[in-house]
Structure 1
């Protein structure tokens, strides 16, 4: 039976055609396809090997571009700080504040470099993995470049994200957070080397991880998947709201403190 958006090689169903098209380009799918061909003693098509090589080449180019962009941004910020730094008197006191502009990444294009080393430990906390990754990705105080998602009204079904043009846009929370969860699992699978991470986990943790991944990314035609995804989205929505409110409280307290000391 031909099921739309279903990958027989990886035994996974996708809610959207775009997710299915992205999946068949992933390293995991291509590796599974090659393994399947070898088990059946079939010839692996040349175009599959060519696609895999092209994928690695594109990833290398993308990484080089990201590193170049990150370096240029750091240089720009440093130059900005130097221009804004006042003359230092003999007392060593700097009277003016230094303002540094932070370039916020578009939603879906976050900097994951500081999270990668933490994945081996985080992946073992299967019950809180996704919420903790969302918190670490979007609300780490040392990485404001990833502060690209906001919830200001807990009673609303809308969420604000930074788009690729650098604008804040409002969108449906279910759509955005469903994509967020899938992006996280895609990152773990491809960039985090999911299989290597799971090999270091106990059989029980591996089973729980795979069960939750299936529940959180599987077809919503399955009632259990639908319930699990609805619960997770509600939890993430509240988490983002609370983190935004906490950050706003800190800003307000800082402003009040500055006013009192003037």
Structure 2
């Protein structure tokens, strides 16, 4: 199954304030990174793509149909969403790691769970794959509350992967992760990209510039939609971030540095 999301003149208003304005784009397979300053509308766009925020104008389509018209379970089988990491107390209750990852299978089975041994075997295999991909298999029986922030983030990503949804919407998935695991996550996104849509809101520009496509938002508007090697995108990033960063092409793509010497 493949999924295509599309926004057509999308506008969002939160608390009486416009947060997205006249935004039109189409997202299918591949890794798409959404970047921009604080308050640019990045997380709001992701929530709208997931069908969690109603449009004030325009619309969001999933495979050509208004996203609100999809039954909840059908939508959950197509689109998986990872929220920004919150405090540990908001997550998991008394569940252990394996139980937390298993919640991702509700999108496939509903609350009743597997109906036969074949479905149970499929669920166990999907959970094991998701935990292996996020390197959290060794913690399977540990309580979620006993993990560090970075460890919890990997478990929550495994829960998303366990859904086996073809479209993954991930809001700041690298939060709390150290550099080796940020790199591992970026490599995972690249592995998933040929068969999935992977849409990530990122503050980490060096990671974002390894995506297949970068969407740059500023004050609720899309100001760039380009490959990470595009010089026009580099100049737009520098401008939007008030010349606080320098972006340049390298043999392996693009490099970001802070403009500390200016």
- Name the TM-score, length of structure 2 as normaliser: 0.26
Decide which structure has greater helix share: 1
